[in-house]
Amino acid sequence: MIHLIKVFYFARLKESLNYSTEDIELPVNVKTIAQLKVHLAERGETWADLFGGQQSIRAAINHGLVDNDAIINSGDEVAFFPPVTGG
Protein backbone atom coordinates (compact mmCIF):
# COMPACT_ATOMS: atom_id res chain seq x y z
CA MET A 1 0.00 0.00 0.00
CA ILE A 2 1.38 3.41 -1.01
CA HIS A 3 1.24 6.17 1.59
CA LEU A 4 1.26 9.43 -0.31
CA ILE A 5 1.33 12.78 1.50
CA LYS A 6 1.56 16.39 0.38
CA VAL A 7 4.34 18.46 1.96
CA PHE A 8 4.61 22.26 2.06
CA TYR A 9 7.65 24.34 2.99
CA PHE A 10 7.49 27.97 4.08
CA ALA A 11 9.67 31.04 4.58
CA ARG A 12 13.40 30.29 5.00
CA LEU A 13 12.87 26.60 4.15
CA LYS A 14 11.07 27.35 0.91
CA GLU A 15 13.88 29.70 -0.10
CA SER A 16 16.66 27.25 0.72
CA LEU A 17 14.97 24.40 -1.15
CA ASN A 18 13.79 26.60 -4.01
CA TYR A 19 10.34 25.09 -4.05
CA SER A 20 7.30 25.13 -1.85
CA THR A 21 5.46 21.84 -2.22
CA GLU A 22 5.86 18.22 -3.28
CA ASP A 23 4.16 14.86 -3.00
CA ILE A 24 6.11 12.32 -0.96
CA GLU A 25 5.64 8.58 -0.85
CA LEU A 26 6.26 7.64 2.78
CA PRO A 27 8.68 4.75 3.31
CA VAL A 28 7.22 2.07 5.59
CA ASN A 29 9.50 3.07 8.48
CA VAL A 30 8.38 6.72 8.40
CA LYS A 31 5.35 7.18 10.63
CA THR A 32 6.00 10.37 12.61
CA ILE A 33 7.12 13.95 12.01
CA ALA A 34 10.49 13.16 13.63
CA GLN A 35 10.99 10.20 11.29
CA LEU A 36 10.00 12.27 8.26
CA LYS A 37 12.60 14.90 9.24
CA VAL A 38 15.29 12.21 9.40
CA HIS A 39 14.13 10.88 6.03
CA LEU A 40 14.33 14.37 4.46
CA ALA A 41 17.73 15.09 6.03
CA GLU A 42 19.13 12.11 4.11
CA ARG A 43 18.40 13.79 0.76
CA GLY A 44 21.60 15.85 0.71
CA GLU A 45 23.54 18.71 2.21
CA THR A 46 20.84 21.42 2.02
CA TRP A 47 18.30 19.00 3.47
CA ALA A 48 20.65 17.89 6.22
CA ASP A 49 21.23 21.55 7.17
CA LEU A 50 17.50 22.19 7.42
CA PHE A 51 16.24 18.93 8.91
CA GLY A 52 19.30 17.54 10.66
CA GLY A 53 18.37 19.03 14.00
CA GLN A 54 20.51 22.18 14.18
CA GLN A 55 17.66 24.45 13.10
CA SER A 56 14.43 25.01 14.94
CA ILE A 57 11.69 23.74 12.64
CA ARG A 58 8.01 23.53 13.43
CA ALA A 59 5.53 21.23 11.77
CA ALA A 60 1.84 21.14 11.01
CA ILE A 61 -0.44 18.30 9.93
CA ASN A 62 -3.67 19.23 8.15
CA HIS A 63 -3.33 22.89 9.24
CA GLY A 64 -2.75 22.18 12.95
CA LEU A 65 0.56 22.64 14.80
CA VAL A 66 2.01 19.30 15.93
CA ASP A 67 4.97 17.94 17.89
CA ASN A 68 7.75 15.67 16.64
CA ASP A 69 5.95 12.51 17.75
CA ALA A 70 2.76 13.27 15.79
CA ILE A 71 1.63 10.41 13.51
CA ILE A 72 1.40 11.02 9.76
CA ASN A 73 -1.38 9.30 7.86
CA SER A 74 -1.80 8.67 4.16
CA GLY A 75 -3.29 11.70 2.41
CA ASP A 76 -2.20 14.16 5.10
CA GLU A 77 -1.03 17.68 4.32
CA VAL A 78 2.23 18.17 6.20
CA ALA A 79 4.03 21.51 6.48
CA PHE A 80 7.48 22.48 7.76
CA PHE A 81 8.43 26.06 8.66
CA PRO A 82 10.60 28.17 10.97
CA PRO A 83 9.21 29.52 14.28
CA VAL A 84 6.52 32.05 13.39
CA THR A 85 6.99 35.83 13.50
CA GLY A 86 3.60 37.46 12.91
CA GLY A 87 1.82 40.20 14.80
Partner 1 sequence: MVHMGVRVQTEDFDVGAEITAMRLSSANIGAVVSFVGQVRDLNDGDNVDSMFLEHYPGMTEKALAEIIAQVKVRWSITDALIVHRVGELKPQDQIVLVLVATAHRQEAFEACECIMDHLKTDAPFWKKEQTQHGLRWVEAKTSDEDARHRWKSTT
**Site residues, partner 1 (CB under 8 A):** 8, 10-12, 56, 60, 63-65, 79, 81-87
8, 15, 73 from 19: Cα distances, Å: 9, 7, 23
| Minimum distance from residue 19 beta carbon to partner 1 (Å) | 15
Which is nearer to partner 1, 44 or 83 (by Cβ)?
83
| Minimum distance from residue 79 beta carbon to partner 1 (Å) | 6
Which is nearer to partner 1, 10 or 38 (by Cβ)?
10
Q: What is the CA radius of gyration of the chain?
A: 12
